[in-house]
Amino acid sequence: MLTEIPTEQFSTTVDEVARAVLAEVDWYRPPVNLLEVADRLNLVVARDDTMDVRGRFVNLGTQCSSMSGTILVADDPRPERTQWSVAHEVGESIAHRVFVRLGVSLSDIPPAGRERVANQLASRLLLPRDWFADDGESVGWDLFALKRIYSTASHELIARRMLEMSSTVIITMFDQGALQWRQSNSAGQPPQLTAAESDVWRAAFETGHASECDDHELPEGITQVRSWPVHEPGWRREFVRTELVEWQ
């Protein structure tokens, strides 16, 4: 079962499968357009506005067919959501590769386990680990700079992917002025929001511009705090990245 597999082994295997699939379709640089990737995998992407879900994988082909299947997606005004929907269904179609590499029988995988793997593959197809790690370091983990490089991924997906990199960080998302989620890639629950983090977030919320805390205002154990506003008419969301020296 997946729960018995070490986290590092699972993560490495999913990374390897995503990397192999992108190599199969000759995709070697960001941004990754999953509509094109699906096409190169002989997956047909079609619109279905009658669905109550964003995407669905159907019409699995046979070994004698050149068509691997069909991905149905609902119409969405946000292109990143369409990219994610297609990425998830591509992940669904290749999830068996992860299970084979892990030596797990498909008959032992419940639907929730397959869904988990499809989500992990989708994230890695849009934001491949090696590329993302290198680009993140090169731009100093600036969310807006990474969004320009990985334009097919949403700001939130990029922010969440930061938690899977080597730097010890806390990522916090505010939505419409309220804290929506706060996660760290270190052990244990992240601490309460510090005054420095709150000030940086509020500056981004009120001005609509990226904000950063001065070094002399940072509490012990925190090396940097930055916030990026993702604002649209009638809707505001902010992401705060807190870099830590180490988790106490």
Among 111, 128, 145, identify where a domain stops: 128
Burial class from Cβ neighbours inside 10 Å (0-12, 13-18, 19+) for residue 78 reads: exposed
User: What is the reported pTM?
Assistant: 0.90
Identify whether residues 105 and 140 lie together within a single domain: no
pLDDT for the residue 215:
80
Q: For 196-235, how does the pLDDT look when each residue is reduced to its tens digit (9 = 90+)?
A: 999 999 999 999 999 999 887 899 999 999 999 999 999 9
Identify whether residues 6 and 124 lie together within a single domain: yes
* Residue 196 domain boundaries: 132-244
Q: For 183-200, how does the pLDDT look when each residue is reduced to its tens digit (9 = 90+)?
A: 999 988 899 999 999 999
Q: Are the CB atoms for 182 and 172 separated by under 8 Å?
A: yes
pLDDT for the residue 248:
46
CATH number of the domain residue 94 falls in: 1.10.10.2910
Instruction: With cut-offs at 50, 70 and 90, classify the pLDDT of residue 72.
Output: confident
Identify whether residues 96 and 162 lie together within a single domain: no
Instruction: With cut-offs at 50, 70 and 90, classify the pLDDT of residue 47.
Output: confident
- The region of weakest confidence among 2-11, 169-178, 194-203 is 2-11
Q: For 137-160, how does the pLDDT look when each residue is reduced to its tens digit (9 = 90+)?
A: 999 999 999 999 999 999 999 999
Among 128, 162, 197, identify where a domain stops: 128
Closest C-alpha to 216, from 240, 196, 239, 244: 196
78 or 173, higher pLDDT: 173
- CA 113 → CA 72, 117, 185, 221, distances in Å? 22, 6, 22, 37
Q: What is the 3-state secondary structure (H, E, C) of 7-36?
A: HHHHHHHHHHHHHHHHHHCCCCCCCCCHHH
Among 112, 128, 144, identify where a domain stops: 128
Identify whether residues 7 and 80 lie together within a single domain: yes
